[in-house]
A and B are shown apart, each in its own frame.
Chain A
Amino acid sequence: MEPSPSHPRTSLARSIVPSSDVVVVGAGLAGLTAAIALVDAGAKVTLVARGHAATHWTAGGLDVAAPPGSNTAAEGLARLKARRGHPYAFLAADVRPAVDWLMGVLSAEGLPYAGDLDAPLRTMPTAIGSTRRVSLVPDAQSAALAPWSLDERLVLAGPAGFKDFWPAALAASLERPRVWGGDEAAVARPARVEAVSVELPGLAGRRNLTALHLAHLFDDPAWRATALDMIAMAVEEAGTGPGRIALPAVLGLADHAGALRDARQMLPLPPFEVPLVPPSLPGLRLYHALRAALRRRGGKIEVGEEVIRVDHDGRRVTAVAIAAAARERLFRTGGLVLATGGIAGGGLLGRADGTLVEPLLGLPVEAPAIGEWLAPDPFEPAGHPLESAGIRTDERLRPVDAGGRAVFENVAVAGSMVAGQRYLVERCGDGVAIASGRRAASTLGAALANTRGRREKAGATR
């Protein structure tokens, strides 16, 4: 899969923009975390991304570690820390402080998170009628965290005709004990599962209704008051007794906090959101909150601008070239965070000859040989072999060569670009993104401080 020349340059005309201390490439969780931490450390930061990242596709929770067999995220973290070659082998100690810090940042942006790395992983329903295990979730999903008591019912309530959330079908699946973890006695689950579909105001006959449409409606206080009232009546009609309500994750975007507050006030049982297929509102909210946090601090973010080249002097990156219309635009920079998202994000490209390449700097890629790219079982319990491909780094996240020496002094790799993680099966992608994003920021922040120190010293002795 060669990169196609999708931006044929029509001219070599260049435009150079004033320099940044650090350019962060990639607008996913790792890149945004790194950028925020760098601005907090006093750096002038520009984040550039070719497009939006995986935040829009994810459930919005923060998966720190949940490899098979672990009961808590902390236990999973310890397990992965002991795994040779796993990023947690050197990042594990950073995970708690980094996640706590980022949850503080999100809370300040009106998007609080709940959960505890030391509490047992909780089983929560998904929008396809299965379950998943979580530790840290947005506040809107937090009502799913508490253990179920023996008399509790789960009411799945959704707008009639909404294609991404079918209460009756979900209930039919979630009624089966094995969906909640197999061993019926050991796993707490709701005593009863009920389904209600509600005709919400103004939606009759609307085709192609998406989660976004519903979220925009829930942003409107008047509409949501009526809608929540109708859902409340339907839930009360469906049955009695304690329990919780599972709603599709559509409780607002611009005014999510208001929508969640109203839902809690108006519904007869504690509600929680169930993340949907993309586009995922919980993921969008996470992206919006992090983007707002970065901009509030004075960081710049430019999405839609593809990096086409990185200039360096062999040891240090000096500039980043962006594909602008009809020309390339050059950012001079003192450092680079490479958070380009691994294979899924386009940060690594597979060539026809079976090699993986890192297209921006040509960094050495650690990857299984082509014969091992595909596991015979698509649901291979150990994870897909190719997942672990990435850039091998030193403990400061600088990319290293086969001999373990840093290839560039002022480049730090973050997120799913870091080699050795199998984020799908280990459920560690968010923890690695946050811890490595913050570590990358401290590596480059320290490098900047050194450079500045040297410059000042040179200035003083001159």
Chain B
Amino acid sequence: MTIMDIVHEASQFEVPLSADECLKCNVCNTVCPVARVTDLFPGPKYVGPQAQRFRIATLLPPQAPSTPILTSPDATVDYCSGCGICTTACPADVKIAEMNSRARAEIKAGHRPRLRDWLLGQTDLVGHLGVAFAPLANWTLRNHLIRTLIEWTIGIHRRAPLPIFAGKTLRSRLSATAKGSRGETGGVVEPPPDRAVVLFHGCAANYYEPHVAFAAIEVLRRNGFETIAPDQVCCGLPFISNGLYSNARGRARTNLSVLADYARRGYKIVGTSTSCTHTLKAEYREMLDVDDDDARAVAGATWDICEFLLDLHDQDRLDTNFGRLDETLPYHAPCQLRSHGIGLPALDLFALVPGLQAIDMDHDCCGIAGTYGLKKEKYDIAMAVGDPLFTRLRATESARVACDSETCRWQIESATDRPVKHPIEIIAAAYAARDNPSRASGPEQAATTR
């Protein structure tokens, strides 16, 4: 066993020291969607593995007390959108995007967070307030004058695609039974793990798009699974993306304290937000160094909804009695989905639906990358990153688009004026078309029921 083996075993060094594998081959720079459109970001190679050598000295214990703590030699790392495409492209397994995220966090550590960045991470607080005052909040956030003021004061771009608050939260619409034994009421008898899954609905489904969660619940029910949605908070990804790791760790601990118990009892944790599920699977460990038994149990139990359904199909357990959906459906695979390493399961599911012609738009990133494209100084970059996708979508005849990630859906809707659906909504519509072929939720109807 060498020193490097020991170092590799300590997971908190896995990301930072993967820089050692970098060949300086530039492949990451060829795929970076941000460096493609702006000089403000020199490219993942430069701010990632190349800058990492300046940071690495502070990582190796034991550290002499006099060693200065180096953060990053280059603050442009903040222009990394965190899309993660570089990591998937790297032939040497360097965790480039993860390294950049950690570098950003180190730059921000010990400083008071910028109000905007803190606010973008406070998805539960904002969500609760927004839903409570939904009509007012929605009006406010669509008023151009107010949005201009918000841009000046807080730094959220006036045209950034902010979602519409739902009238009620998902949680308030779920029955006590659906919230499980760990729910507010407690003591509920839960169906066993072969007949139920835990739903990690995330903030998007709770505060903005309860219909996505309901589509998932319905599809799961069709396939013999009850849904348990125990107490949960934001996965913490918005804090991670904004470099506020200690806040994110708090979210991680809260979620793990509830979810680990389910995971150990054999429940699968299924999520409709592909970025939340990736956070549970990988980022608690890779970014936050939260790598205890709870984190491992939850990571191993977490599934993206489409990944879960495709797995059912492979076991011949998926109900494939879909009705016809005669439409051409452009599909955008979010950058965050690619980090799962699960292929594009939504496309495999769409292929099972008669009449449905899904088209993979094959574009790397829509630009938004979570909260990146909301920011005043990054909005134009995000729009430029997504521009080829938007141009092609605007040129299609299709009435709607499919995409697994909520922030991407909002970005694409805002840029193209096309309704963008979660794949699970399409699958739910395909079941509905079977039940009631005459009232099938075709594209026209779907567009009007937005």
Chain A interface (Cβ < 8 Å from any Cβ of B): 2, 4-8, 10-13, 15-18, 49-53, 56-57, 206-208, 210, 212-213, 216, 254, 278-279, 284, 295, 300, 302-306, 322-327, 329, 345-346
Contacts and interface: CB of A to CB of B under 8 A. Distances in A.
A206 B39 contact: yes
A168 to B, nearest CB: 25
B341 A207 contact: no
Contacts, number: 134
A51 B92 contact: yes
Given A11-B301, A254-B388, A304-B341, 13 more contacts: A2-B2, A10-B296, A12-B300, A15-B311, A15-B314, A16-B311, A18-B313, A50-B93, A51-B91, A208-B46, A212-B35, A295-B362, A326-B300
A6 B93 contact: yes
Interface stretch (B24-32, B108-116, B179-187): B24-32
A322 to B, nearest CB: 6
A284 B31 CA distance: 10
B8 A326 contact: no
18 contacts: A5-B8, A6-B8, A6-B93, A10-B285, A11-B300, A11-B301, A12-B300, A16-B314, A52-B89, A56-B27, A56-B30, A210-B43, A212-B36, A278-B27, A304-B341, A305-B343, A306-B93, A346-B91
Nearest to B45: A279
A324 B304 CA distance: 12
Nearest to A327: B300
Nearest to B29: A279
B442 interface: no
Interface string B259-295: 0000000000000000000100110010000000001
A18 B314 contact: yes
A305 B310 contact: no
Interface string B323-350: 0000000000000001111110000100
What 4 A-B pairs have minimum CB-CB distances, sorted nearest first?
A: A11-B300, A304-B88, A51-B91, A324-B341
Contact of B342 (A5, A56, A324): A324
Interface of B: 2, 4-5, 8-9, 11, 14, 18, 21, 25-27, 29-31, 35-37, 39, 42-43, 46, 87-93, 95, 278, 281-282, 285, 295-297, 299-303, 307, 310-311, 313-315, 338-343, 348, 362, 388
Contacts of B313: 18
Given A16-B311, A279-B26, A329 B5 contact: no
Contact of B26 (A2, A208, A278, A295): A278
A212 B302 CA distance: 38
Contacts of A303: 88-89
Contacts of B341: 302, 304-305, 322-325, 329
B39 A326 contact: no
B342 A11 contact: no
Nearest to B282: A325
A451 to B, nearest CB: 21
A56 B343 contact: no
A327 B46 CA distance: 31
A306 B348 CA distance: 21
A442 B8 CA distance: 41
- Interface of B: prevailing SS: helix
Contacts of B342: 15, 324-325, 329
B190 to A, nearest CB: 21
B296 A4 contact: no
Contacts of B301: 11, 13
A373 B402 CA distance: 53
Contacts of A278: 25-27
Nearest to A341: B91
Contacts of A322: 341
A298 to B, nearest CB: 11
B314 A5 contact: no
Given A304-B87, A325-B341, A326-B282, A4 B300 contact: no
A326 B302 contact: yes
Contact of A51 (B37, B90, B314, B339): B90
A279 B27 contact: yes
B151 to A, nearest CB: 27
B26 A56 contact: yes
A326 B27 contact: no
Contacts of A216: 36-37
B339 A325 contact: yes
Contacts of B26: 56-57, 278-279
Nearest to A323: B341
Nearest to B313: A18
A325 B88 contact: no
A17 to B, nearest CB: 6
Contacts of B30: 52, 56, 212, 279, 284
Nearest to A4: B8
A13 B281 CA distance: 12
Residue from B4, B21, B91, B307 with most neighbouring chain A CB atoms (10 Å): B91
Nearest to B17: A4
B93 A51 contact: yes
A8 B27 contact: no
Given A6-B18, A52-B91, A210-B43, A11 B296 contact: yes
Given A11-B296, A329-B341, A51 B278 contact: no
B299 A8 contact: no
A4 B4 contact: yes
Residue from A51, A216, A303 with most neighbouring chain B CB atoms (10 Å): A51
A6 B307 CA distance: 23
Nearest to A277: B26
Contact of A302 (B8, B278, B339, B343): B343
A17 B343 CA distance: 10
Contacts of B5: 2, 4
Contacts of B88: 51, 303-305
Contact of A52 (B31, B95, B296, B303): B31
Residue from B278, B285, B315, B341 with most neighbouring chain A CB atoms (10 Å): B341
Contact of A50 (B91, B285, B388): B91
B307 A15 contact: yes
Contacts of A207: 39
Contacts of A346: 91-92
A305 B9 CA distance: 21
A304 B28 CA distance: 12
B340 A345 contact: no
B89 A51 contact: yes
Contacts of A50: 91, 93
Contacts of A5: 8-9
A326 B339 CA distance: 11
Contacts of B29: 210, 212, 279
